[in-house]
Chains A and B, each alone.
Chain A
Amino acid sequence: MADLIRSIAGHYNYWMFVILMMTGLFIVVSRGNLIKKIAGLNIFQTSVFLFYISMGKVTGGTAPVNTGRAGEVYSNPLPHVLILTAIVVGIATTAVGLALAVRIKESYGSIEEDVIEDMHRTERPA
């Protein structure tokens, strides 16, 4: 039991990653509002950032700056650098998604998926 608790507590960051990821995915799938979908997508992407950042952290490690002192423990900077790139990609995706939502609102007058689907149904004769 103690082992289990220690295992859960020790992987605290990873549990948060899983919870955030599932929350984000659930919002994307379950919400019909396009802005909420993008918000869900953002949460999902943020969970990936957390995952990478946690991966690079070394227990007791400091910032990876070369101080010249021997035997200093520092965190792995590579995943942190990678995730900077992924954050930029995430921002670009959000920007494109929001721009598309604006154009959808302009041409349909709504950002609710079911309203748009209804319009499609009447637009296209079977």
Chain B
Amino acid sequence: MIAGATAGFIAKHLPVLVVLVPLMAAPACLITGNRHATWAIATLASWTSFALTVALFIRVAGQGPLSYSLGGWAAPFGIEYRADALNAFILPLIAGIASFALPYARGSIGRDVEPRQQNLFYSALLLCLAGLLGVTITGDVFNIFVFLEISSLASYVLVAAGGGRDRRAFKAAFDYLIMGTIGASFFVIGIGFLYMATGTLNIADLAHRLATAPADRTVRMAYGFILVGIGLKLAMMPLHQWLPNAYSYAPPAVTAFLAATATKVSLYVLIRFLYTVFGLDDPFEAQTLKLLVMPLGIIGIFAASTVAIFQNDIRRMFAWSSIAQAGYMLTGIALMTPQGLAASLVNIVNHGLTKGALFMAVGMLTLATGTSRLSDLRGIGRTMPWTMAAILAGGLGLIGVPLTAGFISKWALVSAALDAGQWWLAGAVLLSSLLALGYVWRIVETACFGKADETRVIEPVPLAMVIPAWGLLAVSLYAGVQPALIMEGANAAARSLLPHLTGVGG
């Protein structure tokens, strides 16, 4: 009886519970204080949240979009939480990565944060998770801004948590704060223009009103501000300056979590605005995407991959590779076809899994050796063969070798480009893989063929780090061998966003 009532309650409030569980667990961590208890609360909250997102995904896949009126105030006046094929597809990735990152943090955070402050760290991580989930599930554009700032403020703190070991983390967090706030302010100015033009903040209502009215200068201003603001948050090529430092100096668990989720959520927001809100019927909007975002994406792929080859710090190398990967996703979005969009969505998930696992493995390496400089890691493959194997497996995923998750997303992007008749884009994507091969090869060369330092001290890696890292790697490898589920989810999401284009090219 009670179980039935609980199940009914959860089913009824599912969309809001996804956000509420981590949001409420964060102050609980703050009050509890004890680091073991707070870790348990945080992990439990993220696992619960993950289970709820999976339930939401299954329900949306079976019954179609789900709308929830916050506080019982009906949309468009109240705030609506709306789960459809697109965000129900992204949500499990965010909560899932957090579910791996929290056990991993237990093993690694002792290096960066004092024991008595660790409850604050877990609170910040949960707030960041709640913010990211909130951005993804909400159907109200101003609510997106609020949740985006919750997650961003928490992530500045999380990056600065690396300052105990390396003071450069403080400066990295400060720069991230400045850039992130400028991005968020641009975004909120864009929302202001949208409100001026339409008088509504609800996404579905906005989409309806913008589709029926011809686009004027106010709407175009909104489009520009939102594109730049979100471009900053997702590290679109000329706006990427904050990312390499933030990823390099943050604690390993934070880097793994942020690299796999934060920029991905921003990409989701971009997709939501471009395809649902603006709809790209206005030639100005479509041309901007084609003539600005697409070239920036391709420049990003080549420039960031080239910079990655010349990095000596292994974390910084993979941070630059993340900027290049954002380029692939932007290119897919800018193709404006269901296939291109589906390719980007597949890449968001596959790259999230791969990069998360990769940064976890790199974290193990730096914890054991005390350095992340390639020049100090010569011959490390002989002393730490398993960790290097994990890094190599992730690296192969970045190159896009068959049977890895990265191959699936590159294949999807290349075939989408060919379907759209952009053969040169397909060529560019394939060519850029050689650059990824370049930086992964540098690691292999140093680790396996370098002369080992006999005096090197290797510290044991806690099992709490090893298990989540290999677990996440296993998920990413599985996504490479059995891509059907992710492909179907991405295709369904892309079809729901571009219904008037279904059937083009199959």
A contacts, CB < 8 Å to B: 25, 28, 34, 37, 41, 44-45, 48, 51-52, 55, 78-79, 82, 85-86, 89, 92-93, 96-97, 100-101, 103-104, 107-108, 116, 120, 123
Contacting B146 at CB < 8 Å: which of A85, A96, A107? A85
Interface residue stretch chosen among B52-60, B171-179, B335-343, B345-353: B171-179
| CA gap between A113 and B163 in the complex, in Å | 17
Report chain B residues within 8 Å CB of A92.
149, 153
Distance, CA A111 to CA B192, complexed state (A):
34
- Cβ of B170 within 8 Å of any chain A Cβ, yes or no, is yes
- Classify the interface of chain A: helix, strand, loop or mixed: helix
Beta-carbon contact of B178 and A48 below 8 Å: no
A79 touches B195 (CB 8 A): yes
A113–B471 Cα distance when bound, in Å, is 41
**Are A104 and B170 neighbours in the complex by a CB distance under 8 Å?**
yes
Min CB gap B5→A, angstroms: 35
* In contact, B170 and A96 (Cβ under 8 angstroms): no
A93 pairs with B153, CB closer than 8 A: yes
Known: A25-B182, A51-B192, A82-B142. A93 touches B173 (CB 8 A): no
Q: Which of B146, B170, B185, B188 contacts A100 (CB 8 A)?
A: B170
Judge whether A41 and B178 touch: CB under 8 Å.
yes
Residues in A neighbouring B428, C-beta threshold 8 A: none
Contacts known (A48-B192, A55-B196); A104 close to B174, Cβ less than 8 A: yes
Distance between Cα atoms of A52 and B190 in the complex (Å)? 11
Alpha-carbon distance A21/B398, docked complex (angstroms): 40
B contact residues around A100 at 8 Å (CB): 156, 160, 170, 173-174, 177
Are the CB atoms of B167 and A48 closer together than 8 Å? Answer: no
Q: Is the CB of B192 within 8 A of A108?
A: no
Contact B163 A107 (CB under 8 A): yes
For the complex, is B198 an interface residue (Cβ under 8 Å from A)?
Answer: no
Looking at the complex, which one of A25, A44, A55, A107 makes contact with B167 (CB distance below 8 Å)? Answer: A107
Chain B residues, Cβ within 8 Å of A97: 174, 177-178, 181
CB neighbours of B142 from chain A (8 A) = 82, 85
Complex Cα spacing A89 to B187, Å? 14
CB of A46 to closest CB in B, whole Å: 10
CB B345 to nearest CB in A, in angstroms, measures 29
6 closest A-B pairs by beta carbon, nearest first, are A107-B167, A100-B174, A89-B149, A104-B170, A103-B170, A93-B181
Q: For A41, what are the chain B residues with a Cβ–Cβ distance below 8 Å?
A: 178, 181-182
Contacts of B129-185 to chain A: CB distance below 8 A: 142, 145-146, 149, 153, 156-157, 160, 163, 167-168, 170-171, 173-174, 177-178, 181-182, 184-185
Contacts of B145 in A (CB 8 A): 86, 89
Bound Cα distance from A123 to B184, whole angstroms: 33
Q: Is B368 an interface residue (CB 8 A)?
A: no
8 contacts between A and B (CB under 8 A): A28-B182, A45-B185, A52-B192, A89-B153, A103-B163, A104-B170, A107-B163, A107-B170
